[in-house]
Structure 1
Amino acid sequence: MALSAPQQLVQNEFSRLVIKRGALAFLPEPPEIRWNGVMLRLSPLETEILSLLVRRGRASWEDVDSAITALHGNPHNREIFIHRIRSKFAAIGAVDPVETVRGWGLRLRVERDLFGSTTTWIGVREDAIDALTPQAARAIAASSAAQFGG
Structure 2
Amino acid sequence: MSGRILIVDDDPAILSGVSTLLEQAGYEIAQAASVAQARAQLQAFNPPSLVILDLMLPDGDGFELCRQIRQSSQYLPILMLSARDELHDRVEGLTVGADDYLTKPFAPAELVARVRAILRLAQHQRETLGALECGKLRFDCELQRAWWDEQLLELTPKESGILVQLMRQPSHVWGRLALLQTVWGTNFLGDSRIVDVCVQRLRAKINQLDPSADPIQTVRGFGYRLKCEP
TM-score range (shorter-chain normalised) is 0.5 to 0.7
Instruction: Map 1:1-150 onto structure 2 (within 5 A).
Output: 17-57=130-170, 58=172, 59-70=174-185, 74=190, 75-93=192-210, 95-112=213-230
C-alpha distance after superposition, 1:79-136 (max 9, x if no partner): 1111101110111115122111112221102221xxxxxxxxxxxxxxxxxxxxxxxx
Question: How far, CA to CA, are the matches of 1:19 and 1:98 in structure 2?
Answer: 16
Q: Which has the higher helix share?
A: 1
Per the TM alignment, residue 31 of structure 1 is displaced from its structure 2 partner at its CA by 1.6
Task: Give the aligned residue type for 1:61.
Answer: R
What TM-score, normalized to structure 2?
0.39
Question: How far, CA to CA, are the matches of 2:189 and 2:160 in structure 1?
Answer: 13
Question: How far, CA to CA, are the matches of 1:30 and 1:54 in structure 2?
Answer: 16
RMSD: 2.1
Conserved 8 A contact 2:203-2:216: yes
Per the TM alignment, residue 67 of structure 1 is displaced from its structure 2 partner at its CA by 2.8
Question: How far, CA to CA, are the matches of 1:17 and 1:48 in structure 2?
Answer: 15
Question: How far, CA to CA, are the matches of 2:223 and 2:150 in structure 1?
Answer: 27
Question: How far, CA to CA, are the matches of 1:96 and 1:67 in structure 2?
Answer: 23
- SS of structure 2 residue aligned to 1:29: coil
Conserved 8 A contact 1:34-1:40: yes
What TM-score, normalized to structure 1?
0.57
- How many residues are paired up? 97
Question: How far, CA to CA, are the matches of 2:201 and 2:177 in structure 1?
Answer: 20
* More displaced 10-residue stretch of structure 1: 91-100 or 60-69: 60-69
Give the % identical residues.
27
Structure 1 portions without partners, runs of 5+? 1-15, 113-150
Q: 1:73 to 1:34 in 2, by over 3 A?
A: farther
Structure 2 portions without partners, runs of 5+? 1-128
Q: 1:39 to 1:69 in 2, by over 3 A?
A: same
Question: How far, CA to CA, are the matches of 1:55 and 1:90 in structure 2?
Answer: 21
